[in-house]
Amino acid sequence: MCSRFKIARPIAAAKLLVACALAVFALSFNGGASGQDQNKSEQKTIDPKAWGGNHAGQPIPDYVHGDECLFCHRNNIGLTWQKNAHGVAVRQREDAPELTKMLESQPALAGVAKQVEYFLGSRHRVRFLKKDGYGKFTMLNAQAALGADGQTAKLIDYEKLAWDKEKFANRCAGCHSTAVDPETKAFSAFGLDCYTCHGSVDLNHSNNTSLVLLSKKRRNDAKVITSLCAQCHLRGSSSRSTGLPYPNNFVAGDNLFQDLEVDWARADDEKLNAGERHIWRNARDVALYGNESITCLNCHAVHGNSSFKHRRVLRAPICAECHQGEGFKNVKRYEVHSASCEY
C-alpha cells in the first residue's frame, strides 16, 4: 500500500504520510465498527516471513568486534556509548562504580557481594552475575529495583540467596549478550556489541558507507530495521527452531519472523503498558500490515539516546498509545514490566 511509493521530495513524503495515516485510521475504525469477517477483509495483511533469509541453526559468523569499531568511531559513537542504555546493558563491576557502591551498601548481600563480577541493567532493575566458563553467566536470584537517582535501591527476592547456572543461557542471553551460539547457548561477547544492530560489517565501508547497515545511506528499509530492533524488543516471543525465548542466531539484515513466533494480538492488548505496546504496534504495522511509513527510527535516535524527534512525526494512530485528547500535552503515565525479564 503506502510502501510501494518511492519518495523523493519532503512535500510528497509529508502528503504520503498523511494519506497513510488516514488510511490506517479508516481501517482501524472500520475494523472496530464491523464484524470479524469485514475486519479481516479491510485490514490487509502480508506474510511477515516472505522476504529475505535467516541464519537459524548456522554457525555464528565472524564479525568485527566493538573495540575495533570504536577505535575508528571513538569521536562520534565512542563519546556517548558508555552512557547509552544499550552500551551499558551488561557491565563489568569496575565499569559501574555507582552500582558497585549500591551493592556494597546492602547488608543483605554482604555474603555474596564479593562474588559479583557483572551487572545487568541500568535504569530500573539490576541483576547480579558472575562468569561461569566460556560465554556463560551464573545469575543471583536477588534483584535491585533502582530509585530515580539510579544509585539507591530496594532489594527483591533476597531472603534466600542462590546462584542459578542455567537461567541466563536459557532465558536471557539472546537479548542481553551478543552472538549466542544456538548449540551451546554461549555468548561471544557480554552485553550488546555493535554487531547486534549493525550486523557483520564489511571494513571496506570506510570508503563506501552503503556497505554498512544503519549508515545514512541504509537507514530506510523499514522491514530490516523493524526486524533488527524487534529481535530483542518483542518480549514474550519464542524461536520456532529452539523454543527459547529469543531468536536463533539472528544476524541484523535477516528476516526475524522466519524463526521467531510472535503473538501480534499483543499490539491490541489493553493490559500491556504503553512502553511495550507501542513497540508491538509499530512492529505489527510494518511486518504484518506492510505499512512502512513509521519505524522505530522515526522516533528514536539510538546513539543520541533520545526520542525527542518523535515530536516531529505527523499524527498517526500510534500516537494515541501515549497521548490522549486533542494536543500532545497530556501524556499517559505507564510503568514497564515484563515477565520475560522478571521485573
Residues 259-288 that bind ligand HEC (CB under 6 A): 274-275, 278-279, 282-283
Rounded to whole angstroms, how far apart are CA atoms 285 and 287? 6
Distance of CA 323 to CAs 25, 137, 269, Å?
16, 40, 17
Least Å distance between CB 301 and ligand HEC? Answer: 4
Rounded to whole angstroms, how far apart are CA atoms 164 and 175? 18
When binding is defined by CB under 6 A, the residue of 49, 93, 130, 235 that contacts ligand HEC is: 235
Enter the C-alpha cell of residue 238: 519464542
Least Å distance between CB 293 and ligand HEC? Answer: 10
Rounded to whole angstroms, how far apart are CA atoms 60 and 177? 13
When binding is defined by CB under 6 A, the residue of 49, 93, 167, 337 that contacts ligand HEC is: 167
Least Å distance between CB 256 and ligand HEC? Answer: 10
Rounded to whole angstroms, how far apart are CA atoms 59 and 128? 29
Binding to ligand HEC, residues 108-127 (CB under 6 A) = 120-125, 127
171 lines the binding site for ligand HEC (CB under 6 A): yes
197: which residues sit within 8 A by CB, 6+ positions away?
Answer: 86, 213, 214, 228, 229, 252, 302
Enter the C-alpha cell of residue 288: 504484518
When binding is defined by CB under 6 A, the residue of 99, 129, 232, 272 that contacts ligand HEC is: 232
When binding is defined by CB under 6 A, the residue of 3, 30, 141, 215 that contacts ligand HEC is: 215
Distance from the first to the final alpha carbon of the chain: 39
Closer of 113 and 322 to ligand HEC (Cβ): 322
- Up-side HSE of residue 18: CA atoms within 13 Å toward CB? 5
Residue 156 in contact with residue 106, Cβ under 8 Å? no
* Sole residue written with cell 533488527: 228
Rounded to whole angstroms, how far apart are CA atoms 98 and 94? 10
Rounded to whole angstroms, how far apart are CA atoms 11 and 285? 23
Contact range with ligand HEC by CB under 6 A, out of 3-11, 31-39, 128-136, 170-178: 170-178
* Sole residue written with cell 504520503: 16
89 lines the binding site for ligand HEC (CB under 6 A): yes
Rounded to whole angstroms, how far apart are CA atoms 162 and 78? 36
Contact range with ligand HEC by CB under 6 A, out of 25-33, 53-61, 97-105, 193-201: 193-201
192 lines the binding site for ligand HEC (CB under 6 A): yes
Closer of 93 and 205 to ligand HEC (Cβ): 205
27 lines the binding site for ligand HEC (CB under 6 A): no
Closer of 40 and 221 to ligand HEC (Cβ): 221
Contact range with ligand HEC by CB under 6 A, out of 53-61, 152-160, 166-174, 180-188: 166-174
Closer of 7 and 197 to ligand HEC (Cβ): 197
Cα 147 versus chain centre, distance: 23
Binding to ligand HEC, residues 305-334 (CB under 6 A) = 305, 307, 310-311, 313, 315-316, 318-319, 321-323, 328-329, 331
When binding is defined by CB under 6 A, the residue of 201, 222, 224, 267 that contacts ligand HEC is: 201
Closer of 34 and 330 to ligand HEC (Cβ): 330
